[in-house]
Structure 1
C-alpha cells in the first residue's frame, strides 16, 4: 500500500481523541467519529466536544492549536462514508467485543481496499476481535496500543496475527515511527501485551505489599522510585496520577484473561482500601485526591498521605530508612540485600516484578530488549527490567529469588550468571531464549550518540562537555553536567571544540541524549559567587559566555542545534546562536531569566532583536521589534512545543522538527552536511533602536501591570533593565546604527547590576531550594 496520508479514529473518548490530536500534530488530516447521543440536538456533539476540550486541556494534546483544524468531526451513523479515502482507521471504542465487532462489520462496507484497521485495545485478544470476520478484513487488521496521553508517551505496542499482511504492519510501523514519533514494540497476542502485563503486576504488588509489610506510602514510593531508576512517583503517586478508579477494571480484565498458573494470581489482590477510597471520591489527582491529597481546610494548603492501615489522612513525612541510605551508596543491589522493611519491600515488589519480566520472554515478546523498551517508554523507567537485572547481577538476583521463594524463570536459568546485554567490539548484543547472544541493530535512519561513544574517544573533554566524531565529517558537542546545566566547563568545552572542528570537520551538531537539552546556567554557582561577593568572577563568566556564543555563531562551519526537552535560559541562547535548528517536537524552549530576577546575558536579548527584525511576518520598525522581544523575554515565555517555538521566534520558519526522538541526531547531522556544501558564516546584524522614548513606553506598560497586580515590585525593576537593553540604552536613537557588540555591552551592564540586587539573590535562592519562582 502507499504511505498513510489520511487517518480516521472511531471513538472520541480520552484515548481516541488524543490519538486523533496527535495524528493532526503530524500534519495529517484525520476524521474523528463517535456515537449520536440519544435525543442530541447536534448529532456530532461527542466528537466536537472532545476537540474543544482538548484545545483547553493542560498538558495540551495539540502541539499547536492550529492542528485542531485538521480534525474533521462527525458521527458513526451519518458519516461512515468519510472513511472511504482513509488509509488507516483506528478503533478506540468501549472495551466490549460485541460493540467492536459490530463496528468492524460496518467498516467492511465502507473502507477502501487495502486500508489498515487497528484497535487500540489492550484487554481483548486480536484473535477474538477478528473472529467471524472476512479474510480480507483479517489481512488488514492489527492492534496498535497507544499509551495515554498519546502525544507524550512514546511507546506504541503493535500486535499482528498470522493473517495480517506484512505490508499493512510495515505501513503502520513506518507511519507511527516517522510521523507520530513512536517507538514501535512488536508484542505477541497475549493479555496486557508487555508494558501493562508487567506494569499492572508491579503496581498491584506495590500496593498490597506496602500494606502487608507496614510501610507508609512515602516510604514505599521512596524505595520503589529513584533507587531503581523509576520516577519519584514510585507506585502510589503514579496510581494517583493515572486514577485509582482504573485499577479495579484493569485488574479485573487481567484476572479474567490470565491462566491460573500465571504468577499474577499469586499476588494478594485485596484492594478493599482502594475500593473504599473510590467510593468516597478519592480517585487520584483528577478527583479530590488519592493516596496523597492537598488539604485546604482553614485556608491552608497541606499535603497529606493516607495511612494504609487505618485509611486516615495525615501530613506527609519524609521517608527515613536505613535501606534508602544503603541504596545511595550501593544502588539497587544494596537495597535488595538490606534487612529492614525497605529492603523486604524492595524484594517483595521488585524481585517479583523482574522475575515476571523474565517469564514474559518468549511468552509475550521474543526479545528482552522489547520488554525493556516497553517499560522505559510505557512507564518511564530509566532502565528496563533486564537492564536492572544486569545492574544487580544475574547471579546475585537469582540468589535473591531463591531466598524469597520466588520461582526462577527459565530465561534466568538459561542466562546462568551471564548478563542479558554485552558489548562485542562496537556491537551491543542481547541474550536470547536460545542461550545465544544476538546483535542489536538500530532501525534505518537512527543514529545514537551512546553507540558512537562505545567505539571512539572524545576529541575534547571537560568536566561538563565532550566533543565526538559522529562520522562523515560531522562532530557532535555533548553537555554532560547534571540536567545539562551550563557552567564554565561547558564554555571551555565549546571554546576548545571550535578550532578542533575547524581543522578537521565539515560541521558541528550540538546534541545530547539527556532528558533535557539544557536547563540553563548553573544557578548554584552564581549564588555561591554572589554570597562571597566574587562579582568579578560573575562578570568574567558573563563576558566569557558572550564571547564563546559569538564565536560559535560566526565559526567558519555550520552549527546545528538539536534540542529536546527543556532548552531554557543559556540553553535557549545556544539554540539562538546556531545557524540552524533541528528540534525534537517535544522541545520546551524559552528565555526564563526574569523569573530569577535577571535578564538574558549571553546574547539572548541581542538574538531576539535580530530574530524579530528579520522576521518577514513581523511589523517593521524599531518599536515593533523591541516590543515583540520585550513581550517574549519579560514574562519568561516558554514554548510548549517546537511548533509553538516558531511563533515566539525561538525557532525560524526554516528550522526543522523531528517527531521521533531516536531520529533527532541523524536528522541534525543530515541538515549540517547539506549546509556544509556551500556554507558562509552569517552577516552580523545591526540595529536602529528607539532609545529613551521606547524605554519609557515599555516602562509605562509595566507600571500599568503593577497597578493591576499582575507584576511585582521586583518585576518592575527587572523589566526596566530589560527595556533599557532592548531599546538600545541612553545613546540610542533611530538615526544611530548599533552593532551586536553594542547590545552585548548593554546586556552585560544590566545583568551585572541585577545580579547584585538583594531581591534577585532572594529569587535565585528560592528557585534553588523550592524549584519554584519567588514573586517578590
Structure 2
C-alpha cells in the first residue's frame, strides 16, 4: 500500500476532519495552514483546529490517543516536511488561482512519486492541472470526501487520461482498507455524482413543497423514511448542513453545468429562503432554520416555519394518509395515493430519478457507481436505480410519458427487465449499451444481502435467521424491529447451537441493519409487567442467561461482528462470543442502569471475568471489581471500536474492520482460522471481596448522591449492581462459579424490574428515547 505518511493542506472544518480520520487509520499526518498575519504562533491555525477536533461532538477521532499522530504546522516553516509524505491532500478555499499557486509550491518539494489530490467539490480536474509543470497531472487526482469525514463513507475519485493508474490504485486501496471508504470513480463533470443528483433532489423537494403548500413536517415525512432516506428528510437535512450553503453550491454548479441541464431550472433560491439567510436563520449553526427551538413558559418548544408566510408556530406531526399507505404498500402505494403527500412524492421522485437516469454514462460508467454514491454520500437506503426498480421501470416510464416528460435512453432500455436482474445465483445490472453484466464485489467483500437474494435460510423465525455463508460457516442474523432481542431470538440461538455441528464448523453473529442491536425488547418487558406477567419476565431473564451460556460453550467458534449500536443485551451477547471482529463504528456498552436495571444476561459476570484476567494489574481483586462498577453503573458507552478496548468490551485480541462492507468476510476468516483447533473455553472461577467491595461501591454512590450527581433511585440500582459485582454474601477466600454470579444477576434484576421506578424509567425511554432521572 505504501501510504506511510500523509499531509493535509488546509485546517478548516473539512481539512482538519480529513486529517483526524487519517490519524484514525494509524497513519501519521501533517496538518498545515497559512501563517496568520502578525501571529505570535506561526502554526496557530492548525493548532487551533486540533484543539477543536479534540472538543468536537460527534468526535472526529475514534480515540483521543489518535491525536498524537496529527502534527500541526504551517505552509512556510514546514513546507520541506512534505518531501517525506506519500499523499498530500489539498483542502483549501475553492479558488482556482490560489489552488494552483499552492500546487506549484508542492511540485517543488514533493518526492517524485508522491500523490497530490484536491478535496474540491466544484472545480473540474482539467482546470486544476492546466498550465502546471509537465508530469504533475500524472500523480494528481480529485479525492472528494464528504463531511464529516469519519462518519460519511463516500469518497469520490476523479482522474484523467494522464493520471498514473498505479497511483489511483494505491489511493483506492488505502481509502478502502484503512479509511473504510466506499470508493466511487466519477467522471470529471460538475458536482461529480452525489452532489449533482443530491443538489437536484434537494432543490426539487424544496420548490415542490412550496408549490403544493405542504408544511415542512409533511414534506419531511414523505421525502424521508418512506423513500429510505433519513428521517431528517429535506428540510431537516438543510438545517443540519446549513441553509446558506445552497446558494453557494448553486453558483458553483451553474458555472460549469452544460447548457440545458435540468439542474439549471432548479437554481433559483425562493424569496422565503433568501430572507431566512439574510436574517441569520441558516439552520442549526444559526438562530434556527426551517425548524427552531424557542423558549416559551420556561421550556423549549420546537417550532417550524410556514413555507408560505415565513412565520413560525409549534411543530405539528404530519398526518398524511399517503405516508400510512406507504407503510403497507411501499413506494407504489405512496405515489399512487391522491392526497398532497402522494402528489409530492411523485413530483420529487419522477424528476429526481429521471434526472439520475439521464446522467449515465455522462457522470459515471455504470448505475452501480450512482447508487453507491447516493447511499454513502446522502445516506439513502436505496440508490436511484433501485428505487426505479421498486416502482417498476415500465410503470415509471409510462407515468413519465403521461405527464409529458421525455424518457431518458437508459430508462428506455430498462423498461422490459428493470435495472437489476436476479437469477441463477447471480445479480446482473444494466449497462448503458443495453446489456446486462454480473455484479462483482471487490475481493474481500461479502454481503449478506447478496446471499439472501439467491438462498434460503437454514433456520428462521420472525426475529432471526441462520444463513450458510460458505466454507462451513453459518451466519446468525437478527431482523426483529430495530433488531431488539426477544424470546424468538433467544430461541433461535438455542436452535443454532444444536444445528451447527451437523454440517458447519463455525458461526458468525452479524446483520446489515443500521445497528447490531439496541438491546432487549423493553416493550415486551413493560407489556408483561402491566399485565402482572412476572413469570414471563423471569422466563425471559433466565432464557437469556441459558441461551448466552449455550453460545459460550458451543463446540464450535463463535465470532461476533457488530456495527452501529450494540447496547445492553446486545453487548452481553458479544461478551459471550469467542472473538469479535467489530466494525470501527461500533458503539457498545452495558446501559441497563439507565432504565433502572442491571445487566441480567451474564454481562456483570463476563465483565468481572475480563477485568480479573486480561489487565493483570497488581492490587488484588478489589480494583477490577471497582472498575466494572465504574463502567456499568454510569451506563458507559464506547463511542468506537477502538475506545471499546479501553473498557474491555473488546479484548486486546479482538479485531477491528474499518470498511463496513468487509466486516462479514473478515469475521468469517477469523472464524475459519479458529475452527481448525477449537476448544470451548474453561468455565471461570471467581474470588470476590464481598462486603469489603460492596461498602466501597456504596460509599462512592452516596458521595454522588450527596453532591447531586445521583438520584435516589440511582442509589437503589447501584446497590443492586454492587451486590452482584462484590459476589454477594462471600469473601475472598471462597470460590464462586459462573452459575453463582448468574444467580445473583437473576435475583437482583428480578427485584428491580418489579419496582415502579424502574417501570417508569423503561416507559419513559420507550416514549421519548431519553432516560428518566427519578
Worse overlay, 548-557 or 658-667: 548-557
Which residue of structure 1 aligns with residue 639 of structure 2? 640
Q: CA deviation at 1:297?
A: 4.0
Q: CA deviation at 1:557?
A: 1.4
Q: Deviations over 1:715-742 (max 9, x none)?
A: 1111110001101112x10111111111
Pair 1:54-2:53 in alignment: yes
Aligned ranges for residues 66-215 of structure 1 at < 5 Å?
Answer: 66-215=65-214
- CA contact under 8 A between 2:247 and 2:269: conserved in structure 1? no
CA distance in 2, matches of 1:713, 1:733: 28
Which residue of structure 1 aligns with residue 772 of structure 2? 774
Stretches (4+) displaced over 3 A = 617-620
CA distance in 2, matches of 1:92, 1:617: 45
Which residue of structure 2 aligns with residue 463 of structure 1? 462
- CA contact under 8 A between 1:478 and 1:511: conserved in structure 2? yes
CA distance in 2, matches of 1:322, 1:415: 31
CA distance in 1, matches of 2:742, 2:670: 29
SS in 2 for 1:318: coil
SS in 2 for 1:90: strand
Q: CA deviation at 1:456?
A: 2.9
Which residue of structure 1 aligns with residue 400 of structure 2? 401
Which residue of structure 2 aligns with residue 752 of structure 1? 750
Worse overlay, 161-170 or 702-711: 702-711
- CA contact under 8 A between 2:201 and 2:352: conserved in structure 1? yes
Which residue of structure 2 aligns with residue 340 of structure 1? 339
CA distance in 1, matches of 2:464, 2:740: 30
Pair 1:728-2:727 in alignment: yes
Q: How many residues align?
A: 774
TM-score, scaled to structure 2: 0.99
Aligned ranges for residues 624-773 of structure 1 at < 5 Å?
Answer: 624-730=623-729, 732-773=730-771
Pair 1:444-2:443 in alignment: yes
Q: CA deviation at 1:325?
A: 2.8
Pair 1:366-2:365 in alignment: yes
- CA contact under 8 A between 1:573 and 1:591: conserved in structure 2? yes
Q: Deviations over 1:672-714 (max 9, x none)?
A: 1111222221121111111122112211211111111111111
Q: CA deviation at 1:326?
A: 2.7
CA distance in 2, matches of 1:496, 1:666: 24
- CA contact under 8 A between 2:63 and 2:642: conserved in structure 1? yes
Q: Deviations over 1:575-611 (max 9, x none)?
A: 1001111000000000011111110000000001011
Q: CA deviation at 1:328?
A: 2.6
Q: CA deviation at 1:176?
A: 0.2
Q: Deviations over 1:218-243 (max 9, x none)?
A: 11111111111111111000000011
Which residue of structure 2 aligns with residue 570 of structure 1? 569
Which residue of structure 2 aligns with residue 586 of structure 1? 585
CA distance in 2, matches of 1:404, 1:265: 21
Aligned ranges for residues 219-618 of structure 1 at < 5 Å?
Answer: 219-267=218-266, 269-616=268-615, 618=617
CA distance in 1, matches of 2:162, 2:204: 37
CA distance in 1, matches of 2:544, 2:207: 53
CA distance in 2, matches of 1:620, 1:606: 20
SS in 2 for 1:629: helix
TM-score, scaled to structure 1: 0.98
CA distance in 2, matches of 1:485, 1:388: 27
Q: CA deviation at 1:457?
A: 2.2
Q: Deviations over 1:604-650 (max 9, x none)?
A: 00001011101225444221111011011111111000000000110
Q: Structure 1 residues 477, 93: closer, same or farther in 2, change over 3 A?
A: same
SS in 2 for 1:108: helix
CA distance in 2, matches of 1:242, 1:607: 42
Q: CA deviation at 1:81?
A: 0.9
CA distance in 2, matches of 1:553, 1:326: 44
SS in 2 for 1:363: coil
CA distance in 2, matches of 1:341, 1:512: 36
CA distance in 2, matches of 1:183, 1:597: 40
Worse overlay, 475-484 or 62-71: 475-484
SS in 1 for 2:289: coil
- CA contact under 8 A between 1:613 and 1:620: conserved in structure 2? no
Q: Deviations over 1:399-422 (max 9, x none)?
A: 232233332211111223321011
SS in 1 for 2:536: helix
CA distance in 1, matches of 2:198, 2:223: 13
CA distance in 1, matches of 2:427, 2:496: 29
Q: Structure 1 residues 25, 701: closer, same or farther in 2, change over 3 A?
A: same
CA distance in 2, matches of 1:184, 1:447: 16
Q: Structure 1 residues 619, 212: closer, same or farther in 2, change over 3 A?
A: farther
CA distance in 1, matches of 2:13, 2:616: 36
Q: Deviations over 1:427-477 (max 9, x none)?
A: 111111111111110001111112222333222212211111211121111
Q: Deviations over 1:502-560 (max 9, x none)?
A: 23222111111111111111111111111111111111111111111111111121111
Q: CA deviation at 1:25?
A: 0.2
* RMSD of aligned residue pairs (Cα, Å): 1.2
SS in 2 for 1:303: strand
- CA contact under 8 A between 2:426 and 2:438: conserved in structure 1? yes
Which residue of structure 2 aligns with residue 6 of structure 1? 5
Worse overlay, 186-195 or 678-687: 678-687
Q: Deviations over 1:549-576 (max 9, x none)?
A: 1111111211110110000111100110
Q: CA deviation at 1:298?
A: 4.1
- CA contact under 8 A between 1:205 and 1:268: conserved in structure 2? no
| Structure 1: runs of 5+ lacking an equivalent | none
Worse overlay, 502-511 or 739-748: 502-511
SS in 1 for 2:106: helix
- CA contact under 8 A between 1:203 and 1:235: conserved in structure 2? yes
Q: CA deviation at 1:341?
A: 2.0
Worse overlay, 446-455 or 686-695: 446-455
CA distance in 2, matches of 1:593, 1:322: 37
CA distance in 2, matches of 1:701, 1:270: 58
- CA contact under 8 A between 2:367 and 2:430: conserved in structure 1? yes
